[in-house]
Structure 1
Amino acid sequence: MRPLILLDVDGPLSPWAAARHAKPAGYVEHRLRISRWSRKRLRIWLNPEHGPALLALAGAANAELAWATSWEHRANRQVGPAIGLPPLPVVEFAGPQPSWKFGPVARFAAGRPLAWFDDDFDLFPDARQAFLDRRAGLPTELIPVDAHTGLTGEHFGRLEAWLRA
């Protein structure tokens, strides 16, 4: 089965916790409208090099990229094009999630090797451990990303090493 590479937006691709006036190197500011009914625009930083780097790693390993973000399908409309990603499959998080993203991700990734970039793995440590326990025997790499910095070369290196293994 093709391995999955799951992407969160807030934190990994958009370092939301970075100091307001200290945009990380390589990132470009975007102002995105979060709903068609609101005039407010959300400021996010995205690095246009991330899309091609992720596509190259996924292509070399015959892996599939997918979104695992509260942006859900909006990631395909607003984030992916800004960093050069085509439309990707989306993990859907219908309704409140008592264990955060772990249940929907477990269903989406059923039986497949999985690498996952996110900044919130530690929010629900019991749910994280239960997720990992259920995936025992399946290659699973949770790659925590600091929301102050977003994805770095170290994260890409860790993904590349996992894909090679």
Structure 2
Amino acid sequence: MRPLLLLDVDGPLNPFAAKADGKPAGFVEHKFRLPGWSRRRPLRMWLDPGVGAALMDAAGEAELVWATTWEHKANTMIGPAVGLPVLPVIEFGQTGTEWKFPAVARYAGDRPLVWLDDDFDMYTGARDEFLRSRAGLMSELIRVDPRTGITQAELAAVRERLG
């Protein structure tokens, strides 16, 4: 069964918590206008144009899937900026105290998964229940520091788990 590599945007691809006085090395500043965001100023994001190729290489035979509240906007706005093709999208709708875990569980079914995100510790009860419900299935949650985004360390962890 083909494993999944699940990818969040804010934190892993956009190191939003990096120092405000400059973008991280290798990243390019983008400004997006989004519905519901301040009309006076666009949303600033830092994205690494080479990370898409690195993720596809690390994924190997795994299916790369967006697991972000950006949902389909990730394919039209973020993917082109980081060098990713159109990817499948997990649709979350409204997330509450269970966060993304129920939607990911439904999407993944009994497929092994590796998931890159920065927020696994926000809803520890839901996280622990998610992992319990997947006992016996490879379910690697790789936390990405939102100050740095995905680094070689996370890519190596992905390769190790999927290799």
- Deviates further, 27-36 or 116-125: 27-36
Match in the other structure for 1:104: 103
Q: Does 1:156 align with 2:155?
A: yes
- Corresponding residue pairs, total: 162
Per-residue deviation, residues 97-143 of structure 1 (Å, max 9, x unmatched): 33000010110111100000000000011110000000000011100
Match in the other structure for 2:130: 131
How high is the TM-score relative to the length of structure 2? 0.95
* Counterpart Cα distance in 2 of 1:85 and 1:51: 5
Deviation at 1:63, TM superposition (A): 0.6
Contact 1:31 1:42 in 2 (8 A): yes
Contact 2:29 2:47 in 1 (8 A): yes
Per-residue deviation, residues 5-37 of structure 1 (Å, max 9, x unmatched): 000000000001111113211111111111399
How high is the TM-score relative to the length of structure 1? 0.94
Supply the AA of the counterpart residue of 2:5: I
Matches within 5 A, 1:114-125: 114-125=113-124
Deviation at 1:154, TM superposition (A): 0.3
* Counterpart Cα distance in 1 of 2:138 and 2:95: 28
Deviation at 1:41, TM superposition (A): 1.3
Cα root mean square deviation, aligned:
1.4
Secondary structure of 2:88's aligned partner:
coil
Match in the other structure for 2:51: 50
Matches within 5 A, 1:22-33: 22-33=22-33
Contact 2:97 2:123 in 1 (8 A): no
Contact 2:58 2:156 in 1 (8 A): no
Per-residue deviation, residues 35-87 of structure 1 (Å, max 9, x unmatched): 399463110000111100111222x3x11000011101000000000011111
* Counterpart Cα distance in 2 of 1:96 and 1:7: 17
Match in the other structure for 2:9: 9
* Counterpart Cα distance in 2 of 1:6 and 1:95: 19
Which structure 1 residue ranges, 5 or more long, are not aligned?
A: none
* Counterpart Cα distance in 2 of 1:44 and 1:116: 21
Supply the AA of the counterpart residue of 1:89: P
Amino-acid identity (%): 55
